[in-house]
A and B are shown apart, each in its own frame.
Chain A
Amino acid sequence: VKPAPPSAPASAGEAHRERLRALTRQAILQVAEAVVLRAGLGALTLDGIAAELGLTKQELHDHYASREALVGELALQEWTAAADAVHEATQAASSAEDALESLVRSYVSRYTGRLKMFQLATQFTSLSPLAAQLGREHLDAIRPLNDRMYGPTEGKLRHAQAAGRAASSLDPRRLAFIAHTSAMGLLLMQSMVSDLDDSLRHSESRLADELCRVLRQLSAAALRVQEELALARDMQLALLPSDFPRGADWSMHARMLPARELGGDFYDVFSLPDGRFGLLVADVSGKGVAAAFFMAVSRTVLMDVAADGGAPHEVLARANDMLCLRNPKELFITVCYVVFDPATGALEYASGGHPPPLVRREDGRVDVLPACHDIVLAVMPEMPYRTLHASLGSGDTMLLFTDGITEAFSSAGEAYGDDRLLDWLSTSQPATGPRAMVDALVADVHRFVDDAEASDDLTCLILNREAKSGMGTIPQPVQMTDKTVLLDYSLHPTQLPQIAKLAQAVDRALSSRPDLAFSANLCLEELITNIITHGLKGQADHLICIRLSLSVEWLEIVLKDDAPPFDPFGQAAVPDLDLDVEDRPIGGLGVHLVKTLMDDARAHHDGSGNLIVLLKAAQKKSDDATV
């Protein structure tokens, strides 16, 4: 294949003409710049340029139709060259700080002795109405030039931020922009005085030194503030208890997530002299350092006052009086204070401007406890508060929270809201324990807000009283060593549609043994439907408790109800499996399935209800590998 022939002579002539034209244009711009630097922009005329270059007016006009067009191009060429120079200088800098300094120095030094070109490049649009029109195009052209000018500095700053060597509170682009515009300001001052009196002029390099010093101080100050805030945040979080008291049948957990480095929310949990426990959740108005200080003061005051064991309304009233004396910034604080008696489950609570506690009953109903409607603390002394009473039954869960949950906003501007919180609580799983519940709630709120920035601190405290399984002493048909409880679950007869939910919990608990999970689910469903139809005869308001345990040898499934004595294994007739389709009765298979799938199945009545204990060998039998 032959190479393509060289271009035709006609087009070679065309290219030659183009080159000449470009050279002329370049010469015009060079002469124009020389005139500006020598005698100022006022001395620049098209006629003067034409004369200096030996061009006719028409020849010059072919290149630049007007003086503004020429000045516009000269300004743009100057911006381009400045951007290139700064880009190179900052690219070569060894650190983010050096890059900022190089940006300032390379920009300032470019105009040492060339101030008139700086004026031309930056003040071009103030020249005439036509220049203003050109100026808009000029600005559009400048944006990508600024990207080039700031690029290396931005990159180095981002790198330093990632390594913790620069404050992440400063936006790299804005910092580069600030360095650039400060340098421009410095040159602007210089060009103003240079027009007036040379004796007022300072050396650009001295001013640039000063500017670089200020920029360094700013960066260092921002970094120091950030480090101090991180330290303060750690200390603030360390103030809040991370160990929570617990009893034989109750436990609690709480968490505070500050929206910024420092939060104004807090929680507290402490034992009282009479064996009861005080639980606090509070929200200080405002955010940041002031709120954090007031939070620390408020917490100390509330704890001190509560330690005497007074009724909740007395505690809030006294704390309010004390806080009113220690509130220079006129902040206020909303509090919900609950005293919990683990012996009886009794709750006493008082609230100052805070949402009342939510209580999830064992069956999933959620009660919003009555609100106290009393005033926030630290605003006015000698205010009255009242104590209200409620009770936490077995299997009930109490939730205290701050508005950081209900007023968490999604990126679409929608609030998480009370309804969503009530729904979450209703369908939550108290059997997983308060810590997992707290984590689940935080995760639910985070899912809802997605990527939106947290608008407020978020605090929640959960107190569980465990369900009375009443399983007490479970008759042991075999000795089970190293038995681990995998699942405790309770179910209401009215919740038959939730059998699939129970199945999911069983699948999770036995995730390593899907074969056992299948048998367990089948037997649980058969026995639960059996208890509902035969044992409870459709009565509501009963509870069926389920416990799954595993040892090396056995899977144990225990069901407990509070129905009258009823033995599913004694009463069910054994189905005749040899009957043909037409003669087979519909039903009667459930108990047969349980008896066949399990190795042992017994029912006892222990006075309070029926206890069914099922056992299945945990080791797979060689002749039956699937179930």
Chain B
Amino acid sequence: MSVELTTAEHQGVHVVSIKGRVDSANADELERGLTYLFSKPGDRAVVNLGELDYISSAGLRVILLLAKRARQNAGRLVLSSLAPQVRVVFEISGFLKILDTAADYESAMKLLAA
């Protein structure tokens, strides 16, 4: 079991899907895979977590770093399609209060278009 990253671009928005599990052993790998996001001012990105089975605080750290970079570069980040168990981890961490989330990809794109 490992983490799998697929990236695409749609209507000027970076679309990233994180699949599998993100733990302390592979969080660095994820971090490297996401460095290209928010490298330019005004970048917009949807991170789809629909097939993310597991995330620990090591993975939350990577997401928080991404959100900080988005804020610094006047970009926008939306997390979409969080599975129930993953959602609870984000909630306990207080991330749902400070990060934009959407139920699915379409609503994430709408949120970014607004």
Contact = CB atoms under 8 A, between A and B. Distances in A.
Q: Are A and B bound to each other?
A: yes
A218 B88 CA distance: 75
A140 interface: no
A590 B92 CA distance: 11
A593 B23 contact: no
Interface string B81-98: 000110111001110011
A575 B95 CA distance: 12
B1 A504 contact: yes
A627 B57 contact: no
Interface in A495-547: 496-500, 503-504, 515, 518, 521-522, 525-526, 529
Which of the four size classes fits the interface of chain A? 20 to 34
A592 B89 CA distance: 11
B25 A577 contact: no
Contacts of B40: none
B54 A626 contact: no
Contacts of A497: 25
Contacts of B68: 581-582, 584
B94 A575 contact: yes
Interface stretch (B8-16, B58-66, B102-110): B58-66
Contacts of A526: 56-57
B92 A626 contact: no
A498 B98 CA distance: 32
Q: How large is the interface on B (under 10, 10 to 19, 20 to 34, 35 or more residues)?
A: 20 to 34
B71 A593 contact: no
Interface string B36-72: 0000000000000000001011101100110110011
Nearest to A626: B84
B92 A592 contact: yes
Contact of A586 (B1, B64, B89, B94): B64
A496 B92 contact: no
A589 B24 contact: no
A584 B23 CA distance: 20
Interface string A574-588: 010111111010110
Contacts of A593: 56-57, 89, 92-93
Contact of A503 (B54, B67, B84): B54
Contact of B97 (A578, A596, A597, A627): A578
Contact of B89 (A503, A522, A578): A522
Given A503-B23, A592-B93, A586 B85 contact: no
Contacts of B85: 515, 518, 626-627
A584 B67 CA distance: 11
B54 A522 contact: yes
B24 A577 contact: no
A349 B98 CA distance: 66
A529 B92 contact: no
A525 B64 contact: no
B79 to A, nearest CB: 13
A590 B57 contact: yes
Contact of A577 (B23, B67, B94): B94
A177 to B, nearest CB: 56
Contacts of B71: 581-582
B99 interface: yes
A515 B57 CA distance: 18
A584 B92 contact: no
A587 B93 contact: no
A624 B94 CA distance: 17
Contacts of A584: 64, 68, 94, 98
Contacts of A578: 94, 97
Report which residue of A503, A581, A584 has the largest number of chain B beta carbons within 10 angstroms of its beta carbon.
A581
B19 interface: no
B67 to A, nearest CB: 5
B88 A589 contact: no
Nearest to B66: A581
A587 B25 contact: no
A578 B88 CA distance: 17
Contacts of A525: 23-24, 56, 58
Contacts of A499: 23-25
Nearest to A519: B85
Interface in A548-598: 575, 577-582, 584, 586-587, 589-590, 592-593, 596-597
7 contacts: A496-B25, A515-B85, A518-B54, A522-B54, A525-B58, A581-B98, A596-B92
Interface of B: 1-2, 21, 23-26, 54, 56-58, 60-61, 64-65, 67-68, 71-72, 84-85, 87-89, 92-94, 97-99
Given A518-B54, A592-B93, A626-B85, 13 more contacts: A497-B25, A503-B54, A504-B1, A529-B24, A577-B93, A579-B98, A582-B72, A586-B64, A587-B57, A589-B61, A590-B57, A596-B92, A626-B87
